[in-house]
A and B are shown apart, each in its own frame.
Chain A
Amino acid sequence: METLYAPPKTLHRVATHYCPGCGHGIVQRLIAEIIDEWDIRGKTIGIAPVGCAVLAYNYLDIDMSEAAHGRPPAVATGIKRVHPDNIVFAYQGDGDLAAIGLAETIHTAARGENITVIFVNNAVYGMTNGQMAPTTLLDQKTTTCPEGRSADEHGSPLRICELLATIDRCSYLTRVSVTNPRNVQKTKAAIKKGFRTQMGKKGFSLIEVLSPCPVYWRMSPIDSMRFIDDEMSRTYPLGTFKDWEKEGS
């Protein structure tokens, strides 16, 4: 029988610690698929964040470094400057990237570092049991905004792609999701494009992935996917915000 679809070699055959319905596993599998398809295991280096994805290095069979909470872009910068011809990506959650590590995010983008940031936006702090994140939606309930996020009390949600789009040295910025096979394939294409951006030394790329956290959203996995399509993507519209190929650079 012909094999049409098999787990990527770059993904270790182990059970992950992710909760049922979590998006992290999907995104990490996509990274592994790309590494297999392009045969780039030997030149790819990843940085795992502090957050639910901290153990990504147990799942991906590539060279990886941990980074302190919020600092993956700085660690990626340090690695990339030593190995400019490797593919270096930082994998981050929204607390990591948009709260504690926002300065690193913005300045790594401003320097136009040839790295790719894969930003998994699940609108909560998963690892620490579901507190409010900078990307938590208005009215969304979390353990630290139990009555729902209010703009007056907690401030408004941060739109990272839109924020970074003002930075000249940002080369590729896109927001995708993993709510259905089509969107998953779009996410894969976006990560590929991020990698191509740095392989062509075109500068900084960031792929924001709207991703479900059923446990801390207190929803079923299916309702979580619907929530992304119906609610979350209204605050965070899918689309590409910067594209060096379209800007003729």
Chain B
Amino acid sequence: MKSSLHNKQLMTGNEAAAEAAIQAGCRFYYGYPITPQNEIINHMAMRMPQVGGTFIQAESEIAAINMLHGSAAAGARVMTSSSGPGISLKQEGISYLAGSELPCVIVNVQRGGPGLGDISPSQADYFQAVKGGGHGDYRMIVLAPSSVQEIADLVYDAFDLADKYRNPVMILGDAQLGQMMEPVEFYKPAKTYLPPKKWALTGADGRPKNVIKSFYPVKGELEKFNRRLQKKYRKIEETEVRYEEINTKDADLVLVAYGTCARISREVMNKASKIGYRIGLLRPITLWPFPKDALRRLSQRVRTFMVVEMSAGQMVEDVKLSILGRCPVHFYGRMGGGVPSTNEIINNILEVLPKINAADSVEMIEI
């Protein structure tokens, strides 16, 4: 049983992310202001001194991610947060963190891009997050919450996963999830066994020195290291995939969406079922590792998929790769701050479904 620390409180997703980090034992936070994640940095500035932690408003996102490198190397739980342009600046640092196998948590409250874009909700940083926006063959565990409560829960898990695998973990949210208020409860984190950080830098007092590095100049060493990294990533793929599957049993069409789009898709599913359509939803919770097997399984009985994203279509590529052409994959996306409405999505479903149920003739509807 999880035990509750506080009663339910009304909070923005951003504040919940920050508070959950503190409840998870994070005492080091480094950040740089950027909308729409400012509630995180503001909450940390207020809370860290109260709990004896460290808060630094860094001179840039580059400095912040490298301060993370230092505190992670020193063995502490550490977090940073940012959005779009700031996350781009952190990419070199993330590559170093992955290459040095340092545990840390990075929150990306996605906004519209490219460039300065805008500050409204977006999911266009998917590729950057799950494929590796920095250089080299590395992976980041990417968690995609779709409610304020789930933001808090996944932040706890993010710290555990980071420590378990010595790997950076990203919480991939968006402006809508970050800014909206919902009731949230902070549980006392469940005690999980985590290996002691014997590798951490503490001063080599009575022991051989520890070195944190990603540089392997001796021929053959780097490939050996990469092979070990890949082995770790395979293990994560085998062990840590998470997703939610609703009404997929006898669905004609399964929506695939994460985060804000998953919330909207759930609404679409309910509305569509009221007018007689059998729609299911598969919601990836881990974007990397991606729920490939679940999709592959579904593709054996589902007639078609529709991926809904606030992007030009990024996750849709992973869906297609998962089902290997077994059935059609449709896509509906909005960009540049556009949040799809349930009606938009339903109308798109109706355009697709008649082609399957050729006998039915369906009119576009306004619900």
Which residues in A have some Cβ–Cβ distance to B below 8 Å? 41-45, 47-48, 54-55, 57, 61-68, 71, 74-83, 86, 103-104, 106-107, 111
Contact = CB atoms under 8 A, between A and B. Distances in A.
- Chain B: number of interface residues, binned into ranges: 35 or more
Interface in B269-315: none
Nearest to A74: B66
A41 B204 CA distance: 6
B215 A66 contact: yes
Interface stretch (B2-10, B205-213, B245-253, B341-349): B205-213
Given A78-B71, A82-B75, A61 B213 contact: no
**Which of B54, B73, B92 gathers the greatest number of chain A CB atoms within 10 Å?**
B73
B203 A63 contact: yes
Q: Which 8 interchain pairs have the tightest Cβ spacing?
A: A78-B70, A42-B205, A74-B66, A82-B74, A71-B66, A107-B59, A78-B71, A78-B67
Contacts of B202: 45, 63, 83, 86
Contacts of B76: 82
B63 A103 contact: yes
Interface string B61-89: 01110111111111110100000000000
Contacts of B28: 78, 81-82
A106 B60 CA distance: 12
A71 B213 contact: no
Interface in B199-227: 201-206, 209-215, 217
B54 A81 contact: yes
Contact of B213 (A66, A80, A81, A86): A66
5 contacts: A45-B202, A62-B204, A78-B30, A81-B56, A82-B75
Contacts of A68: 66, 69, 92-93, 96
B207 to A, nearest CB: 9
B181 interface: no
A111 B57 CA distance: 10
Contact of B67 (A41, A57, A74): A74
B35 interface: no
A83 to B, nearest CB: 6
B335 interface: no
A80 B30 CA distance: 14
Contacts of A66: 96, 100, 211-215
Contacts of A103: 59-60, 62-63
